[in-house]
Amino acid sequence: MDRNADAPWSKFDPEAYVDLNYRTPLEVDLLIVRLMRDYFSGCFANGVPDSVRGVDVGAGANLYPALSMLPWCEKVLLLEYARPNVEYLEKQASPAGYDVVWDPFWDVFGADPAYRRVEPRSRFGEIVRVERGSLLDLDGQRRWDIGTMFFVADSMSECPEEFQRGMTCFMDALTEGAPFAAAFMKESVGYRIGDQRYPAYRVNEHRVRESLTGFADGLEIHDLHHVVRPGHEGIILALGRRNSAVAAT
């Protein structure tokens, strides 16, 4: 069984990953963007507290989870383990601005007035910081007020304990009431990027719900039946708020 430490993260190719997944926006990602946009907008409909800090865990070469947090946050941290992805993200957050590949995703966010008020490219450069680190080292001491984690806890290891630990570490990194969005490849048997193979833990709606038991209020699970490559059966999106239970990690 491949554990997180066994996978070739130092060989992760972010450009090949973007080519495979995001360069041509897929219907399912645009649907996820709409669901996340409407969910976060609803959470902040009565006003945005001062100094909200956001985190995207295992950000990799995907900016749309971070874009979803721009209107609400004073700062956003992109936490990522693979060095090539850290370099990719640092370039995206540099003064040159992020790649045009992310514009179609912002166009969908921009249909909401709160997002439309933001100039995304300059704001991204101003408030986003990139840090190399492991989800599995988050120990509940550092906490954020809004968080996203896309295709990470299920897509970093074959080990059930590491999946649950990833979920626990993510939820324990959120303050009470923090809105979150997390996405999972349903029943994934692993994935390839270029000539490298990466592990996955097979999840379905039930496993995702179970993994969040005790951590979330108002949990919404969207079981999206879109298949984007061989070796999985759909995509699951979980939306909710961190409840008041004390951090377990």
Give the type of residue at 100: V
Structure tokens at 29: 């990602």
Nearer to ligand SAM, 165 or 207 (CB): 165
Q: Could you tell me the two tokens for 83?
A: 């060095």
- Name the residue nearer to ligand SAM (CB basis): 72 or 191: 191
Cα 130 to Cα 203: distance, rounded to the nearest angstrom: 28
Q: What are phi and psi of 119, to 5 degrees?
A: -95, 100
Total interface residues for ligand SAM by CB under 6 A: 19
**Interacting residue with ligand SAM among 58, 71, 120, 240 (CB under 6 A):** 58
What mask, x for binding ligand SAM by CB under 6 A, covers residues 104 to 143? ------------------------------xxx-------
CB of 74 to ligand SAM, least distance (A): 22
For the packed helices 83-92 and 14-21, what is the interaxial angle rounded to 10 degrees?
70
- Find all residues with CB under 8 Å of 227, minimum gap 6, and list them: 233, 234
Q: Answer yes or no whether residue 151 interacts with ligand SAM by CB under 6 A.
A: yes
Q: Give the residue from 202, 181, 173, 182 showing the smallest Cα distance to 190.
A: 202
Q: How many CA atoms lie within 13 A of 58 on its CB side?
A: 26
Write the binding mask 174 to 213 for ligand SAM: x where contact by CB under 6 A, - elsewhere. Answer: ----------------------------------------
Q: Which of 81, 144, 184, 215 binds ligand SAM (CB under 6 A)?
A: 81
144, 76, 83, 189 alpha-carbon torsion, rounded to 10°: 60
DSSP 8-state code for residue 93: T
Minimum distance between the CB of residue 219 and ligand SAM, rounded to whole angstroms? 20
In angstroms, the CA 240 to CA 13 distance is 31
Q: Is the Cβ of residue 43 or residue 237 nearer to ligand SAM in the bound state?
A: 237
Question: Which uninterrupted H or E stretch holds 120?
Answer: helix 120-127
Q: Report in angstroms how near the CB of residue 201 gets to ligand SAM at its nearest.
A: 12
User: Which CB, 72 or 170, lies closer to ligand SAM?
Assistant: 170
Kindly tell me which of 73 and 138 has the beta carbon lying closer to ligand SAM: 138
**Closest CB to ligand SAM belongs to which residue?**
60
Residue 181 is which amino acid? A
Q: How far is the CB of 113 from ligand SAM (least distance, A)?
A: 26
Interface residues with ligand SAM (CB under 6 A) are 4, 9, 12, 58-60, 62, 80-82, 85, 134-136, 150-152, 155-156
